[in-house]
Amino acid sequence: MSVLVAAHILIFDAVPATPFNVYMNGQQEGNVIMSQGHTLVPLSAFDDPTRLIYTFDDMSKTVDITNKVNLVCIQLSDGAQEAIVNGKKVKLDAQVTLKDGRIFVPLRFLSERLGGSVSYDKEGKKVVVRTPSEQERFKRLMDGDLTEARKIAISLPVIYGKNALQPQGEGFSIKYTFPKGEALRYYKEYKGLVNYVEINADGIAELIWQGDSPQMEKELREKGNKPAKLGEAVYFIQKSEYTYYGTIDEYGKSTELGQINRSEKNNTSKQIVPIDEEKTFDTRQSKSS
């Protein structure tokens, strides 16, 4: 029977069972347990369908994992402190644990045997875990082309924290505004609510500030630390089937540069497009090495 490997819904108020916050592919994982002094996470949260295939035998409580890229086959059984890797026994830091229908495995196993990335930040009390495909995407975010990095940036799950403001306006258009030459911070405006997001060196997108658009007729709300003005910027508006894009000068004046019909062939993914003569100004220092 196949294991459904799906992303968990993030519950911001959940208290992790470890002294660290664990982030799986940029999203905080609240379902974490400690065993024998080691941190275990649900295997189902390590979702990488382009590389990994999971099957589960309910009778024997055993999961089989196949890495389609490096052709590694792994078998894990509930209660075992060893894995079978291509037919050979490999000792684990802690026992494999079946809890609430999920298989939990040690974090170190993810990086050493499944090709993922695990980094520990003792000072920040966090552990950052990425699947192989997500690690490649993280490198493009930090070191790659500016347009590609911006596309990745707006696709990351955002850590909102408690009591985040909810949109109260109407409409279906989305506006993204980036500082000129940057990809790791942006404004997103949707239904009259403006969110300011920053992406840290671990590739985690955090909500820093929220506020209602000045065009809202209701009493304006605000939460968080309002950032300084962006200065020169670029914008991308997704409205209906079109993407409108342009520049914003240091005085806040907008100039539309063009529009793209995303319903046309080869345009469907063009929510973010290159801006002529724009250079990369931000310093994106990757922790991937």
**pLDDT for 148-189, tens place per residue?**
999 999 999 999 988 999 999 888 899 999 999 999 999 999
In a domain, 10, yes or no: no
End-to-end CA distance of the chain: 37
Whether residue 30 is found in the same domain as residue 116: yes
How far apart CA 59 and CA 78 sit, in angstroms, is 11
Coil, strand, or helix at residue 155?
A: helix
* Of 209-213, 217-221, 233-237, minimum mean pLDDT range: 217-221
Using the 3D structure, point to which of 67, 100, 134 is the last residue of a domain. Answer: 134
Whether residue 27 is found in the same domain as residue 128: yes
- Dihedral (Cα; 176, 177, 182, 185), 10-degree rounding: -70
- Dihedral (Cα; 190, 196, 197, 200), 10-degree rounding: 170
Task: Report the number of distinct structural domains present in the chain.
Answer: 2
Whether residue 109 is found in the same domain as residue 189: no
Range of the structural domain that residue 77 is part of = 21-134
In a domain, 268, yes or no: no
- pTM for the whole structure: 0.84
Query: 3 near 61, Cβ under 8 Å?
Result: no
Q: What CATH number is attached to the domain comprising 115?
A: 3.30.457.10
Q: What is the pLDDT of residues 20-38, one digit of tens each?
A: 889 999 999 888 988 888 8
The residue type of 217 is E
Helices (H), the chain: 107-113, 132-143, 146-155
Beta strands (DSSP E) in 200-253 are 205-212, 222-224, 233-239, 242-248
pLDDT of residue 283: 64
Using the 3D structure, point to which of 102, 134, 166 is the last residue of a domain. Answer: 134
In a domain, 87, yes or no: yes
The whole-chain average pLDDT of the chain stands at 86
288 pLDDT exceeds 80?
Answer: no
Q: What is the pLDDT of residues 248-281, one digit of tens each?
A: 999 999 999 999 998 887 777 788 999 988 877 7
